[in-house]
A and B are shown apart, each in its own frame.
Chain A
């Protein structure tokens, strides 16, 4: 049950929404698709004074910009994103990552911006506390950490479980942020602070307006994998996104971007693994060496019943497979 004791304003434009947010202060929350916010309201993880609804704003369809980048409105529903011809053709990894989210009903409601700005999760945080663990944790304003009782650092070790953020990071995407001071542009990874308490770097009245993805370079390929237990209707135990570019010789790697989500407070870029690949031949042996090292470097947080050991094992295998798939795509030029 959601306790409906808050106000509601329906914004006609994103600028109007930003202005309201600036005026209303911390008590205001943005409601786009609602698939992340409504469960948080139900769990009383957020208790807004006012919800600023964005459902009245029609998103622009994804389009090619002058420099060949693809601009996608943050209010694009995930089902539209997954099925948009332009996205499917030019950015199949992004389309696949959108298709990996939740279920069809969820994708029909959820928006791209909402997916990137979703709440972090742990088995304790995202549920009602009226008689379960009545003591609030650090993130709920209290003085403990239920999953990690020895965590005395006033911090929160919950994980950010977006399926799309790793894909955007691997694709080198940027975000347009709209705020009181106008527009700014940041790399997709910069949206995240790495703190479970305040996972987003957005200012109080700032909103993600659009995602801009550069065109994939020539001789590049991608690999994406979401590890789950039942293959759908769940968050990932780990989400892996890889972009590789081959040099003109068609064998050695000249560019690599690897991102892993759902294992830390933010999606992580694996720069040491990227360095280990650039300049090297992408043969099975190298991939088999790089992947387990990369997994270890992740230092995953045990989450949702998965142990650190198992997350390492799982990421090591699927990262290797994703890299191999990306290399294969780069070699053959097939999407």
Chain B
């Protein structure tokens, strides 16, 4: 079968009608009788010893059903990373010491909100404040306040080192020595957060020795594993139910204290307990992304060929390990993937500070790393007199290249992406135009480019996805998948694949998803692998059911399987379409003749098949994935040179996502990432002082509105194909595209104004400051020319 009917087409989202009519049930909408309200008591200190906790008065308050502190837990720790090198490091409630403002100390369950609030006020805690530290480079100094001991395997001189990554490829010092031009720069990023609209919310109900949980999440099986572990329950005693999810962007993976507390409070009271975080709590006590400091030194030949690059990343990792040690590992990846650099050296340090714990955020470090590398690449190109397109084409990786980690770039489409991006945007015609001949008025336009690459489906628990396709008597199908639709459209994509493989309609596919008791295990929606990993599992499951249908039909019709084709719930003879059986007839025949076989297909998938190695976070050894997506993005900005105000006017994304199963969903991912990048570039910042969050609301944490959104165009460079019955390769498209465009915006601001910014956000104040410095430099240069040289 050559023509595709479902895959590769922009089908309407399965969850669309429920969401736009308000019928979709989110965790907060699930109601059970006699539900108690849970609330969390949080630390008012960034760093303090807990001398005494007295909950007696809170317990005595009428309407309070339970109060817990760490003494009411089993003391089992959890962590974003749980490996021998990085064992779990965080208790579910603080023990003996708090290390950030908002850290969870106690939890109450009461009959209503007001009582719960009163109960929190009645808990007495005596603190002994300790000196706190918030900047990573201060926290690293010997003698800085110790938040936690440095990692036992870290041998360097610094304090508060939660973990480090070191790796090299080639000989970087030799590379610098052989370079014609070397430059060093430093880049910094602000603290940003995910901005999911649905708050963190959990309902837990302990009933008949079973814990039922509805929680806003991005991976049901990760939640189950961590809840079961910290509660010391078998996995079979914990069931995470499906709910709709109102956005995550990386911020809802891992275990959160409130989820444990809801569960524990329900186990104590025997009643359902609901905890819903307020927006202020999410901003001031929950997890944000990771601000990185990047020091980058690069050496090139005169023609722009990259010879050597050394990068040092310092992560302000917050008060527990969180994903801090992962981002410094991944930052290496975002360094080494897109360009061919023979000599590389990388060091990453994850530094404890008295900030809230960190989580991945869409791109998990890539936007910051690519901003640094791509900004510096433009500076190098300018110094060498090469244009930004030529220097990128010169260094871009091609197909079938071996990466330092042993992975293969396969059908890498990067060069095509760069060429197409330059062509479609008219890059070289526009580049430098307003700097060479400034137009009248105060608006300057600039264009910039950025390149990025991202890996999909890298191995981390639970590593693989299973899918079951059950045929119904009438030929329609029910798909059981652990995949969680967080808004990216996984249920739509899986339905398209199953419809294609089985040749049934989209409406014939019903999805039962993300319920840990009824659906197979799934990797979750957080490592950019669902369309590839779960999608291939779904393809295999549907294919498995199709093979059974074909065998039964072939037997009954007295032909061989290869003489048959499937079309619209009918099996027919390839040459004589009148010889046919409906699926209904085939399934009835299967039940009748195969001891009741109702036709169930099974499928499963894992990145890199059975490759044993997980990559080491510390040394980067070990393979990551067989899927790398490459992209090139172009930004056009306008800057008012009197006020410094800048805006993104137009974005172009040219990307190689393999094969787009649903082009409209791909487009949605691109537009969403453009919007996130422009928030990063111009607006968003979690402002903190002494560990307190100064803007814990949507008003003062400024995410872009629809009116800020720029024109977003995109082009697919399709490097893979989908064939029914064959494994397919789709690549990442959900988080890698925040990066190139962020770098492109930085480069475009430079192109418009001549101002090179080394830190985000690019506020009007910073741009104006840069313009003033340029004016001053021009003035002093003029004066130097006209004044005689002093003896």
Contacts and interface: CB of A to CB of B under 8 A. Distances in A.
Contacts of B695: 123, 304-305
A1 B697 CA distance: 13
Contacts of B278: 1
A103 to B, nearest CB: 8
A6 to B, nearest CB: 11
B43 A131 contact: yes
A318 B700 CA distance: 22
Interface in A1-56: 1, 3-5
Contact of B643 (A134, A234, A309, A314): A314
A235 B699 CA distance: 8
B643 A132 contact: no
B785 interface: no
Interface string A274-287: 00000000000000
B768 interface: yes
A123 B694 contact: yes
A23 B522 CA distance: 64
A152 interface: no
Contacts of A3: 113-114, 117
B692 A133 contact: yes
Interface string A123-164: 110011011111000000000001000000000000000000
Interface string B670-687: 000000000000110101
Interface of B is mostly: loop
Contact of B44 (A134, A234, A307): A134
Interface stretch (A93-101, A225-233, A253-261, A323-331): A225-233
Contact of A132 (B114, B120, B693, B699): B693
Contact of B704 (A5, A123, A230): A230
B324 interface: no
A131 B683 contact: no
B284 A132 contact: yes
A310 B769 CA distance: 9
Contact of B694 (A5, A124, A134): A124
A4 B764 CA distance: 42
Given A1-B117, A229-B683, A310-B764, A128 B280 contact: yes
Given A127-B280, A131-B44, A314-B764, A229 B699 contact: no
B708 A231 contact: yes
Contact of B702 (A234, A309, A314): A234
B107 interface: no
Interface in B703-727: 704-705, 707-708
Nearest to A305: B687
Contacts of A123: 687, 694-695, 700
B301 to A, nearest CB: 42
- Give the interface residue-count category, chain A: 20 to 34
B684 to A, nearest CB: 10
Nearest to B40: A131
Nearest to B102: A131
Contacts of A89: none
B54 interface: no
Contacts of A307: 765
Interface string B185-204: 00000000000000000000
Nearest to B766: A310
A307 B644 CA distance: 14
B768 A313 contact: yes
A1 B102 CA distance: 17
Contacts of A317: 642-643
B696 A132 contact: yes
Contacts of B685: 305
Interface in A305-323: 305-307, 309-310, 313-314, 317-318
The residue in B102, B698, B768 that gathers the most chain A C-beta atoms within 10 A of its C-beta is B768
B101 interface: yes
A123 B278 CA distance: 18
The residue in A234, A306, A309 that gathers the most chain B C-beta atoms within 10 A of its C-beta is A234
Interface string B325-347: 00000000000000000000000
Contacts of A314: 643, 764
A194 to B, nearest CB: 24
B42 interface: yes
B283 to A, nearest CB: 9
The residue in A130, A133, A229 that gathers the most chain B C-beta atoms within 10 A of its C-beta is A229
Interface string B285-323: 100000000000000000000000000000000000000
Nearest to A313: B768
Contacts of A127: 280, 696-697
A234 B114 contact: no
A132 B692 contact: yes
A36 to B, nearest CB: 12
B759 to A, nearest CB: 14
B248 to A, nearest CB: 23
A221 B43 CA distance: 55
A316 to B, nearest CB: 9
B699 A234 contact: yes
B643 A318 contact: yes
A318 B704 CA distance: 23
A1 B694 contact: no
B101 A131 contact: yes
Given A123-B687, A132-B44, A314-B643, A230 B702 contact: yes
Contacts of B707: 230-232
A132 B101 contact: yes
A146 B692 CA distance: 11
A309 B769 CA distance: 10
A130 B682 CA distance: 31
Contacts of B117: 1, 3
Given A232-B707, A233-B705, A310 B44 contact: no
A166 B698 CA distance: 25
Contacts of A234: 699-700, 702
The residue in A5, A131, A313, A317 that gathers the most chain B C-beta atoms within 10 A of its C-beta is A131
Nearest to A133: B692
B647 to A, nearest CB: 9
A305 B702 CA distance: 12
Contacts of A5: 114
Q: Which 4 A-B pairs have the closest CB atoms?
A: A123-B694, A310-B765, A134-B44, A131-B42
Given A230-B683, A314-B643, 4 more contacts: A123-B687, A127-B697, A133-B692, A230-B705
Interface of B: 42-44, 101-102, 113-114, 117, 120, 278, 280, 284-285, 642-644, 682-683, 685, 687, 689, 692-700, 702, 704-705, 707-708, 763-765, 768
